[in-house]
Structure 1
Amino acid sequence: MPSETRMPSFVGETIDAGRLKLVKVLGEGAYGVVYKAVEQPCVSSSSTSSPKEFAVKVLRKADGSTPEGQCQSREIVTHKIASEHPSVLTLHNVLEDDSFIYLVLDYCPGGDLYSAIVERSSYCKNDALIKSVFIQILDAVQSCHDKGIYHRDLKPDNVFVSDDDSKVYLGDFGLATDVAISTAFSCGSSFYMSPECIGEDLNYMPYSTQCSDIWSLGIILTNMISGRNPWKLATTKDSHFEEYLENNSNLRKMLCVSRAASQLLTEIFTLNPRERITIPELREEILAIKTFFPSEDELALTNRHKKAATSSHSPCIPSSPGQDVADWRAPIGLDEEYLFSSPDLNAPSPTSQATSPLSTPSSPWSSANSLCDDMESLFSGYSSSTSDESDESDEIVTPDTLVGDPMDLEGMKMLGEDYLDISAYGIKESIFESPIIRPMLRHMEYLEL
């Protein structure tokens, strides 16, 4: 956080009329700090019971008429609605004073999925745990989509885990949107962006935020299985992504995953969003897969570096994930029109039970092994998210108004008469005739060439 905007320390301070005491910093982002908070004995249900622990995200209060203030409002509203699902982080309460907003959530000692993958190697060669945890993530994201909420920043840092890494909870709705067909590009964290969200190779055409979320889920699954990312950025300027486009079997060679896992990942990493696997289909295939890891016979066919990488499960994922914290501004592109404005911060707090903290500290990735040294360009650090400002309408969002998958009005104008035919996918048919795109699809079996 830049020094000129660094927030004061709240350690030792109390909020909510003295009910919660902030005891230590859990993590810092670009525009907020997350603290561990302890309920004070005077308000506990029993003097002999252990005090309840929470996570409190502190945001510098922004003017509701500014883009920053509007984005804070969107985070609160979408999170309140999404947190009805048991695998979504529940927003307990929203407090405010003259200068700050406090989001009260449950404390989760397991931290985030990032830590579980890298520091504890919890999912290495553990098919059952990968299935269980990833299904929870899928169900959480599907619940959001069913409510017309699209996360746009799915990554291990935004999934939080129980102390034994068996339960997970989706959090951090700072970039969530109700816009189903978007013209906001470069939204989220670079390694997890879909090609259509990046927009560079697809002529910046309107795209489906729902399909883009599914791409991000595929990168998370790759992280859980292999402890690494398949490429740095899903554009043709990235040599590893270009190699995948030329021959998708290269994915199995790069990651040392089972044949079945590789096939599943190619169904997710489909350049054409219309052909991309859906979450229900993905859920079914995850449950049916026998193993995500290569057999001994398969390993025998790999070279020394790949076998070493699988044995150590070395986390060749970018270091310092906090460098890619998405900020409050709308992403690059045309302004999106949202359905909601500022919620009433004095309204009654949500009643559903919370399940996890909003944010936890992320430790640096462990040292890279020889494979990482050989592929340094693939595993370099995150790039910062870039954004522009966005506008919002005055209509207040509710579960009833949000559930209808509202469309981005500007995106609909760009799609024109073709909109109804492709609204579920957010991409023009004509783009596949582009001299830029057609060569990319030659090996992807989307066109009969």
Structure 2
Amino acid sequence: MAMDARRKKSKSGGGGEVLLGKYELGRLLGRGTFAKVYLARSVGGGEAVAVKVIDKAEVMGTAGMAPRVLREVAAMRRLRHPHVLRLQEVLATRARIYLVMELATGGDLLSRLAAHPRRRLPESAARRVFIQLVDALAYCHARGVAHRDVKPQNILLDGGGGLKVSDFGLSALPDSVRDDGRLHTACGTPAYAAPEVLRRRAYDGAKADAWSCGVILFVLLAGHLPFDDSNIADMCRKAHRREYELPQWVSQPARRLVSRLLDPNPDTRVAVESLATHHPWFKRSLSVDSQLDGLLNGQPERAVAFQAPAPLNAFDIISMSPGLDLSGLFGESRTSREKRFMTTESPERTLEQLGRAGGKLGYVVVGKKGVEFLPLGGLSPSGIAAMSVEMSEVAPPLMLVELRLEVAAGDGDGEVQGFGWEQLRVELGDVVRAWHSCEDLGEL
């Protein structure tokens, strides 16, 4: 692409080109019909960014493209969220428009799935991705922005595996809604578009995004599209009849969520805004080690680093007695239940088995290297269920493993009591040597 006259060679020795004296352009990251995206660095601070270069002549010469660019800028300017790609500034010359955006170094979700051996994610990792997607879209909808082209290609990942929703060129703002309170422009990618959009009927943009989320969740769990047909009319009929089949390894809570999202009736289809507080698949998200991101990077679970447990002395064991738990004196707003078991297996194998068992039961179960709760970004005002896993050495090779399930006040104690501890124990198999609740800890 010919360079604009106002861009000049950098004198910094990097050999790149400087855009309007502010950004040094680097390699090409990707290209679209009317735009190219370059890696760039701020001349002043050296911060890495992505610069989308749009050719004005090509955009102005194509019907409907100029409003699309303006819509993208208008939408991104009103959105500031950790899981929405941030627009930093807009620059322009006579020939080109430059959108300076946050850089997502992890590529797009479609490429990441394609590189995965099974072209899908474990359910625990799929949940983590999906929670971030829902968080981002709920934020967008609350600010009057419907994305209308939610698909894996438009979901980027940062270096740590965090999600970034991008490409708001087809988004709808409040002024796009007609007098009937609906949108009327059919747009998006057919395989991810809601049936009412494909049938060119008036529709609710947020509910259309919810359908697209359902398709993405299906792809994350199954590794393929629920409705895939080159004939759009046939694909629409399949969607209306719910002619899809989830693989047997998908948990029942996840199946119910997919069904609620892939509801051909937009009036009864669940809205993304209500998922965190009303659907158990979200409340069953458990404590995650920060290195769970390795699952998204294609690393096997055994590659997740593990911090060796500290030896456990007699005073530590005594302090675990429920009668000596003084946490309630400090106003903690959590109720909890614990299970502990003894094992002679290595910490690595114990963690591996806990991860596998949790995956089968629809929970994220990973070991402790500074336990962190799943970053929901305030999705659930009433709190979520979370499990932390700690290991302590009693006497080699004997280990004490503590599992703590917590529910923030407001969710009620029933969520704790309904937890499938016995199922978890069965899944752990011979890893467990002796199984204890907090009440019978004194027997240790």
Shorter-chain TM-score range: 0.5 to 0.7
**Residue 129 of structure 1, CA deviation:** 2.6
Aligned partner (choices 156, 164, 172) of residue 169 of structure 1:
164
- Residue matched to 2:25: 22
Q: 1:115 to 1:236 in 2, by over 3 A?
A: closer
Inter-CA distance 244–177: structure 2 relative to 1 (3 Å threshold): closer
Q: Deviations over 1:296-355 (max 9, x none)?
A: xxxxxxxxxxxxxxxx9xxxxxxxxxxxxxxxxxxxxxxxxxxxxxxxxxxxxxxxxxxx
Q: 1:128 is matched with which residue?
A: 124
By how many angstroms is 1:161 displaced?
Answer: 0.5
Superposition pairs of residues 119-268 of structure 1, within 5 angstroms: 119-120=115-116, 124=120, 126-165=122-161, 167-178=162-173, 179-180=176-177, 181-185=182-186, 187-199=187-199, 204-232=200-228, 237-238=233-234, 242=237, 245-246=240-241, 250-253=244-247, 257-268=250-261
Asked if structure 2 preserves the Cα contact closer than 8 Å seen for 1:110 and 1:162, the reply is yes
Instruction: Tell me the residue number matched to 1:81.
Output: 78
Cα 1:217–1:125 change in 2 (3 A) is: closer
Q: Kindly provide the amino acid, as one letter, of the partner of residue 271 in structure 2.
A: T
Partners of 1:252 and 1:259 within 8 A in 2: no
Give 2:192's aligned amino acid.
Answer: Y
Q: Would you say the 8 A contact 2:121–2:220 is kept in 1? A: no
Shift of 1:123: 8.8
Q: Return the TM-score normalized by structure 2.
A: 0.55
**Distance change (3 Å), C-alpha of 1:236 and 1:70:** closer
TM-aligned CA deviation for residue 256 of structure 1: 5.4
Please tell me whether the aligned partners of residues 15 and 21 of structure 1 are also in contact (alpha carbons under 8 angstroms).
yes
Against the structure 1 CA distance between its residues 104 and 125, is the aligned structure 2 distance closer, same or farther, given a 3 Å change threshold?
Answer: closer
Tell me the distance in 1 between the aligned counterparts of 2:3 and 2:23: 15
Counterpart in the other structure of 1:69: 66
Residue 40 of structure 2 corresponds to which residue in structure 1?
37
Q: Counterpart of 2:17?
A: 13
- Aligned residue runs from structure 1 range 83-122, under 5 A: 84-120=80-116
- 1:357-403 deviation digits (Å, cap 9, x = unpaired): xxxxxxxxxxxxxxxxxxxxxxxxxxxxxxxxxxxxxxxxxxxxxxx
Take 1:77 and 1:242, find their aligned partners in 2: how far apart are those partners?
Answer: 35
Matched, 1:55 2:50: yes
Shift of 1:109: 1.6
> Using the alignment, how far apart are the partners of 1:244 and 1:205 within structure 2?
15
Name 1:270's counterpart in structure 2: 263
| Letter aligned with residue 117 of structure 1 | L
Q: Secondary structure at the match of 2:86?
A: coil
- Cα distance in 1 between the residues matched to 2:149 and 2:239: 23
Q: Secondary structure at the match of 1:160?
A: strand
User: 2: CA distance between counterparts of 1:68 and 1:97?
Assistant: 18
SS at match of 2:29: strand
Give the letter for the 1:159 counterpart. I
Could you tell me which residue of structure 2 aligns to residue 356 of structure 1? none
Structure number with greater CO (CA < 8 Å, separation at least 6) is: 1
Report what 2:440 is aligned to. Answer: none
Distance in 1 separating the partners of 2:207 and 2:239: 19
SS of 2:51's equivalent in the other structure is strand
CA apart distance, 1:236: 7.9
**Distance apart, 1:54 and its partner CA:** 0.8
Distance 1:9 1:159 in 2: 29
Deviations 1:134-186 (CA, angstroms, capped at 9, x unpaired)? 11111111111111111111111111112242x1111111111123411112x
Cα distance in 2 for residues equivalent to 1:110 and 1:275: 36
C-alpha RMSD of the superposition: 3.0
User: 2: distance between equivalents of 1:247 and 1:104?
Assistant: 41
Q: Deviating runs (4+, > 6 A) in structure 1?
A: none
Q: Which has the higher strand share?
A: 2
Shift of 1:206: 1.2
Q: Give the Cα separation in 2 of the matches to 1:282 and 1:56.
A: 34
Secondary structure of 1:184's counterpart equals: coil
1:189 counterpart letter in structure 2: T
Give the gaps of 5 or more residues in structure 2: 5-14, 287-297, 299-444
Task: Give the Cα separation in 2 of the matches to 1:224 and 1:121.
Answer: 13
- Structure 2 CA distance for partners of 1:100 and 1:125, relative to 1, 3 Å: closer
| C-alpha displacement of 1:214 | 0.6
Note the C-alpha offset of 1:132. 2.2
SS in 1 for 2:267: helix
Distance 1:140 1:264 in 2: 18
Check conservation: 1:58, 1:101, Cα contact below 8 A. Answer: yes
State the SS of the aligned residue for 1:177: coil
Contact 2:242 2:262 in 1 (8 A): no
Residue 8 and residue 146 in structure 1: after superposition, are their counterparts in 2 closer, same or farther (change >3 A)?
same
Q: Paired residues, what number?
A: 267
Alignment check: 8 A CA contact 1:87 1:136 kept? yes
Please report how far the alpha carbon of residue 280 of structure 1 lies from its aligned counterpart in structure 2 after TM superposition. Answer: 3.0
Structure 2 CA distance for partners of 1:117 and 1:65, relative to 1, 3 Å: closer
Structure 1 residues 125 and 216: CA distance shift in structure 2, 3 A: closer
| CA distance 1:270–1:65, shift in 2 (3 Å) | closer
